[in-house]
């Protein structure tokens, strides 16, 4: 028999010194621990348990009874293949929508980083599906048993991407029944398109919260749509390609949703003398993004009321006339060269969002040197990523190295800072402050130092103890 801890223990295997590699261990006894997420590192970010170049699992697993997945972005699930290879055979709890999307993410991750052997990939995905435990939102689910613990989990909508959740863990301790800990995962911005906004939990004893934008405020939804429209009007004046590096799930679909809204509202009007909005080509060059967009469409019961209203109007926010998807690699290469040669006006959305691999690399190599093109960043760029380097050195007329080739940046580099699927400081504060019974302690993770420290200072007005996890 294992004695329950008086207070749960937290061991972080990622996303404390930065925003990638999310993996948090939650222990309630010597032989009972849970993992919340198991993601890949990106760029220069590391921890004692891994890095982008060495993603292997180096921490003990014998006591880990279950993995709980908040959402399926690669920096939250990308180490799952390594976790299973290290011997983890326990259940993987996630929302029903995440259970649909997770195999797509892992299949792509394996093909890019591990193997293209279809038999091995299929065998691995079959194993993952056997371990998956799909959960409905807002329902308590029993976790693996431990005498006296009564451990259970509940998923609540986080509004970050389809299927994303914050999690509530409840278990007994020697001094308290139903001790509750909340892990925020990645919280969505309150007015993000397509998905309902997250609502704070009723109560918690302890909260582990992300801090990606803990030191800043976003533009509101109306302002950011206006800024997107202004950026497109400006960028397309001399034709050329407007390149959006974007993650295949979440950001791509949000961009499509808002681009459809702009085109619908301005249909019949001119961008410039020789180009109408109705003629503007929107290209998604990512097979994975196309699969996710299809999944978003099939799971439209999860959409918010605004998006459902557009459907009732006969509009198709993720599948409109001017939208084209590129599937094969040869088509992709042909398109890159065509756009570089002709400077035909187009919007291209390509993964990855931080320019760390994927088809956006070929676009960057071909287009960055030419001032006719623009690169528009709409998401966070982690330290050490190619995206962060382009974002930093592009406005200075600098250069980046891509696959050993030095590329001087002539293209205009634009950052739409308010365009994020993460809550800003106000959203993070509200998540805690609007709880009816506030926590005794908040632990801050998943952020750079400035963001974590700013959030800590602000949260201290509302909570007895606010600590930055290490």
Percent of the chain with pLDDT over 70: 97
d(CA 151, CA 143): 5
Q: Is the pLDDT assigned to residue 47 strictly greater than 90?
A: no
**Using CA atoms, how far apart are residues 451 and 444, in angstroms rounded to an integer?**
10
Give 77's DSSP letter. H
Kindly tell me if the per-residue pLDDT of 51 is higher than 70.
no
| 348 closest CA partner among 208, 202, 224, 246 | 246
CB 242 within 8 A of CB 236: yes
Is pLDDT of 42 > 90? no
**Strand 465-468 vs strand 441-444: parallel, antiparallel, or unpaired?**
parallel
What's the angle, vertex CA 8, arms to CA 7 and CA 10, rounded to 5?
135
**pLDDT at residue 18 in the model:** 86
Pairing of strands 270-272, 275-276: antiparallel
Name beta bridge partners: 169. Answer: 153, 181
Query: Is the CB of residue 68 less than 8 Å from the CB of residue 76?
Result: no
Measured distance CA(357)–CA(171) in Å, rounded: 41
From residue 311, alpha-carbon distances to 133, 262, 290, 316 in Å are 31, 16, 19, 6
Give the C-alpha separation, 255 to 271, whole Å: 19
- pLDDT tens digit string along 169-192? 999 999 999 999 999 999 998 777
Band of residue 465 on the pLDDT scale cut at 50, 70, 90: very high
* Res 54: pLDDT: 64
Give per-residue pLDDT as tens, 243-266.
999 988 888 999 999 999 999 999
How much is the pLDDT for 357?
Answer: 86
Q: Which residues of 31-44 are buried (b: 16+ CB within 10 A; e: fewer)?
A: ebbbbbbbbbbbbe
Q: Which of 388, 396, 316 is nearest to 45 (CA)?
A: 388
96: pLDDT confidence band, cut at 50, 70 and 90? very high
Are 227 and 418 contacting, i.e. CB atoms less than 8 angstroms apart? yes
pLDDT(222) > 90: no
**pTM (whole model) above 0.85:** yes
383 — pLDDT class (breaks 50, 70, 90): confident
8 A C-beta contact, residue 331 and residue 266: no
CA gap 112, 86 in Å, rounded: 20
Q: Which residues are CB-contacts of 418 (< 8 A; sequence separation ≥ 6)?
A: 218, 219, 220, 223, 224, 227
- Asked if residues 255 and 225 have their Cβ atoms less than 8 Å apart, the reply is no
CB 364 within 8 A of CB 340: no
Residue 55 has pLDDT above 80, yes or no: no
Q: Could you tell me if 141 and 171 are in contact, meaning their C-beta atoms sit under 8 angstroms apart?
A: no
Q: Report helix, strand and coil shares of the chain as percent, to nearest 5.
A: 35, 25, 40
What percentage of the chain has pLDDT greater than the value 90? 77
State the pLDDT confidence band at 56, using cuts at 50, 70 and 90: confident
Pairing of strands 50-51, 46-47: antiparallel
- pLDDT band at residue 112 using 50, 70 and 90 as cut-offs: confident
d(CA 398, CA 71): 36
CA atoms of 161 and 229, how far apart (whole Å): 23
User: pLDDT, tens digit, for every residue of 275-314?
Assistant: 999 999 999 998 888 888 998 998 888 899 999 999 999 9
CB distance 271 to 232 below 8 Å: yes
- H-state helical runs in 236-313: 251-266, 287-298, 305-312
Predicted pLDDT at 109: 84
Answer whether residue 49 shows pLDDT above 90: no
Whether pLDDT at 163 is above 90: yes
User: Cβ atoms within 10 A of the Cβ of 174, count?
Assistant: 10
Q: Give the model's pLDDT for residue 212.
A: 93
pLDDT value of residue 277: 95
Query: How confident is the model at residue 82, as a pLDDT?
Result: 94
Q: How far apart are CA 156 and CA 141, in angstroms?
A: 12
Q: Is the separation of the CB atoms in 311 and 371 below 8 Å?
A: no
Interatomic CA distance for residues 23 and 338, integer angstroms: 42
For residue 271, the surrounding DSSP H or E stretch is strand 270-272
Half-sphere exposure of 130 (CA within 13 A, CB side): 10
Q: What's the Cα-to-Cα distance from 153 to each of 181, 400, 438, rounded to whole Å?
A: 10, 45, 19
pLDDT number for residue 420: 73
Average pLDDT value over all residues in the chain? 92
Does the structure show a pLDDT above 60 at 50? no
Quick one: DSSP state of residue 18?
B
Tell me, what's the pLDDT at 440? Answer: 96
């Amino acid at each position: 028999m294992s004695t329950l801890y008086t207070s749960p223990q937290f061991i972080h295997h990622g996303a404390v010194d930065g925003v990638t590699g999310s993996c948090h261990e939650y222990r309630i006894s010597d032989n009972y621990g849970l993992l919340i997420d198991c993601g890949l590192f990106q760029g220069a970010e590391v921890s004692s348990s891994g890095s982008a170049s060495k993603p292997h699992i180096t921490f003990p697993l014998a006591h880990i009874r279950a993995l709980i997945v908040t959402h399926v972005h690669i920096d939250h699930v990308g180490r799952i293949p390594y976790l299973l290879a290290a011997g983890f055979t326990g259940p993987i709890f996630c929302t029903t929508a995440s259970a649909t999307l997770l195999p797509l993410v892992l299949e792509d991750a394996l093909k890019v980083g591990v193997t293209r052997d279809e038999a091995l990939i299929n065998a691995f995905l079959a194993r993952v599906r056997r371990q998956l435990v799909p959960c409905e939102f807002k329902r308590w689910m029993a976790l693996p048993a431990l005498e006296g613990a009564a451990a259970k989990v509940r998923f609540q909508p986080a509004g970050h991407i389809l299927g994303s959740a914050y999690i509530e863990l409840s278990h007994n301790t020697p001094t308290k029944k139903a001790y509750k800990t909340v892990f925020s995962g990645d919280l969505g911005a309150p007015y993000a398109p397509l998905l309902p906004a997250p609502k704070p939990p009723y109560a918690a004893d302890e909260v582990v919260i992300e801090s990606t934008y803990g030191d800043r405020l976003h533009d509101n939804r109306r302002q950011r749509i206006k800024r997107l429209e202004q950026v497109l009007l400006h960028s397309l004046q001399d034709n050329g390609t407007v390149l959006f590096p974007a993650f295949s799930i979440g950001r791509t679909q949000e961009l499509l949703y808002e681009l459809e809204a702009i085109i619908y509202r301005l249909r019949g009007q001119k961008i410039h003398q020789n180009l109408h909005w109705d003629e503007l080509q929107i290209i998604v060059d990512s097979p994975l993004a196309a699969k996710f967009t299809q999944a978003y469409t099939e799971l439209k019961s999860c959409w918010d009321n605004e998006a459902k209203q557009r459907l009732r109007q006969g509009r198709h926010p993720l599948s409109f006339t001017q939208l084209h998807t590129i599937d094969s690699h040869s088509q992709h290469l042909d398109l890159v060269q065509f756009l570089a040669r002709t400077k035909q006006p187009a919007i291209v959305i390509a993964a990855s969002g931080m320019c760390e691999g994927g088809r956006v690399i070929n676009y960057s190599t071909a287009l960055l040197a030419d001032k006719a093109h623009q690169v528009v960043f709409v998401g966070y760029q982690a330290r050490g990523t190619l995206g962060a380097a382009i974002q930093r050195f592009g406005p200075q007329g600098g250069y980046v190295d891509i696959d050993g080739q030095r590329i001087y940046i002539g293209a205009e580099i634009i950052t739409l800072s308010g365009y994020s699927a993460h809550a800003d400081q106000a959203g993070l504060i509200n998540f805690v402050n609007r709880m009816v019974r506030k926590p005794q302690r908040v632990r801050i993770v998943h952020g750079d130092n400035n963001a974590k420290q700013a959030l800590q200072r602000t949260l201290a007005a509302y909570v007895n103890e606010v600590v930055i996890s290490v």
